[in-house]
Structure 1
């Protein structure tokens, strides 16, 4: 049994949008199906229809679903993603998956990322080793529920950042090359600040001085974000933008609370990632859904204040409010 040529054409179009721009679709199909280049071309052009076994192999290889091709007019939206396996290696797998998604986006010449911020994006935590180490510890202990951390307490000296240094640095490097628009409001820091505060109150931070240090790290990240917003370019903490640093746009929306929606433009296609289970995402390349999501984000940006590269007064006011949030936490510690 085979599918129609029109559905097959849409299927291969979807495959093409799921591979890096430098990769050859015909090479990938020929290798996956173990057929000649000519035979692969014939399948892509619809001259030879795929059978179900070939569909199964291609779907598995390219991690795509056929559901949307057999229900084009339905209201169903197909998402793909991973869930928490509650295994010791799940943290590394999560970070490598984030890196691979960024590498996919970066492989396209026409690319852009949009982030509707509820919590400060994970990439910004990576700028500071101590802050990143705390986030890794929190995720592993309280979200991924690592058994070996059940009775553990956080300490900066334990250097939880080190085991993830390589993948973290690669992630920052790629992220800084992808043009990005982020929609923020004053609530964007609340989750990280609350995590630090709760761990301190529960006695899960060994040394109270480490709590103060973490708040200072957040202040340094705020300073860095303000510098990026001022220049309109991404950069590494403590460094000026380099030639390969991408555009950075920051919008302030004082009405809408974000939900960590992450959308990426990949050439002529788009993919939307929705947050679930605190730190995981599921993604969809459904065109109708993505067009609607992009329209929503575009409308939000039009109704927000651009505070990167312009809007100096609003930018200063916004970042001063973020600093006051952190200062209030530090003041309680020092009393």
Structure 2
């Protein structure tokens, strides 16, 4: 018996089709997942054959979706997906792999864009400079993940805490730089990183004032790089000039709103919102109503912000000079000690 075209199963497959890359075939994916023929997969997609619970489970696992999403429940619940990581070095690397996988997913779509409501300087920008990345990884592992191996460890230029993760961070940067991006900044976006450096020096976790000054200079170099991307409106790797066909980089400044590190991705005709938890980890939601609401909020913020990339030279220079002034004030305090 042929089921009505409006049934939940047909709607579900229609929704599922819009979440896979344009080059992928939904029928091939379903046939492979359920280990059935192409014709049998078509009959399920058209709603001519009902899925059983085992098949629903396989599809939910394959496409990382929930049973609620399949059933199209109209409730006030907002569905999120993500992993709970334990605080081990292996789990930390697994978290980075999750970041890379999500970026690869976004980049696999021809229509794509990411939006970042910045509270702290995005982690991607810390990866540009090896020494700054080394410090950031040391901080995360010591004060957020509480690695036992770093309990009595201090930070120095000679100790490369970035080395075990350098390959995957470079992969993350390469993919991230392929995706058009809009970032909404406030001049307080540097505060967290600068404060972490300052506190670690005060606590003796960075024994050398020379190392602290080198870290501040790294931040200045990253600011220079961000200004180059903002001026051209294009992304590029650290130390390089943007190419004309490089991914778009839009930088907005909002002097009133301090962001919360919300990360949203447009993929095809759908959106995913990633929210921060436990400082560095994230959960994501494909909930349509939630994402439309989040995007409306981001869109309103961008309309009330100043676009300083590719235009507004005066505003752009003022913003980056304010960032530099914050760093130089830290260096001046250090030299007065």
Normalising by structure 2, what TM-score? 0.95
Residues 208-263 of structure 1: per-residue CA shift (max 9 Å, x gap) = 21111110000000011111100000111111113552000000101111001111
1:281 aligned to 2:282? Answer: yes
Report the counterpart of residue 216 of structure 1 in structure 2: 217
1:294 to partner: Cα distance = 0.7
Is this contact kept in 2: 1:212–1:330, CA < 8 A?
yes
The CA deviation at 1:71 is 5.5
CA contact (8 A) 2:19 2:270 kept: no
Aligned ranges for residues 54-203 of structure 1 at < 5 Å? 54-70=55-71, 72-203=73-204
Which residue does 1:268 correspond to in 2?
A: 269
Aligned counterparts of 1:101 and 1:198: Cα–Cα separation in 2: 32
Q: Hey, what's the Cα distance between the residues in 2 that align with 1:334 and 1:151?
A: 27
In structure 2, relative to structure 1, the CA distance for the partners of 1:17 and 1:146 (3 Å cut) is farther
Cα distance in 2, alignment partners of residues 111 and 178 from structure 1: 7
Question: Are 1:68 and 1:76, in contact at CA under 8 Å, matched by a contact in 2?
Answer: no
Displacement after TM superposition at 1:308 (Å): 0.4
Separation in 1, partners of 2:171, 2:324: 29
Structure 2 partner of 1:250: 251
CA contact (8 A) 1:111 1:265 kept: yes
Q: Distance in 2 between matches of 1:137 and 1:272?
A: 28
2:74, 2:41 → 1: CA distance?
29
Query: 2:12·2:72 contact (CA, 8 Å) conserved in 1?
Result: no
Aligned partners of 2:116 and 2:261 also within 8 Å: yes
- Preserved CA contact (<8 Å) 2:19 2:268: no
Alignment check: 8 A CA contact 1:116 1:259 kept: yes
Distance apart, 1:41 and its partner CA: 1.2
SS, match of residue 158 in structure 2: helix
Q: Match for residue 329 of structure 1?
A: 330
Provide closer, same or farther for how the CA distance between residues 17 and 140 of structure 1 changes in structure 2, counting only shifts above 3 A: farther
Change (3 A) 1:43 1:71: closer
User: Aligned Cα RMSD in Å?
Assistant: 1.7
Mapped to 2, the partners of 1:300 and 1:206 lie a distance apart of 42
Give the structure 2 partner of residue 40 of structure 1.
41
TM-score of the superposed pair, with normalisation by structure 1 = 0.96
Alignment of 1:7-26 (within 5 A): 7-26=8-27
SS in 1 for 2:116: strand
| Structure 1 unaligned regions, length at least 5 | none
The worse-fitting range, judged by mean Cα deviation, of 320-329 and 14-23 is: 14-23
- In structure 2, the gaps of 5 or more residues are none
Between 1:181-190 and 1:14-23, the stretch displaced more is 14-23
Residue by residue over 1:183-214, the C-alpha shift from the partner in whole angstroms, topping out at 9 and shown as x without a partner, is 00111001111111111111111432111111
- Equivalent-residue separation in structure 1 for 2:134 and 2:6 (angstroms): 52
Distance in 1 between residues matched to 2:97 and 2:178, nearest whole Å: 17
User: Number of paired residues?
Assistant: 334
Q: 1:69 to 1:62 in 2, by over 3 A?
A: closer
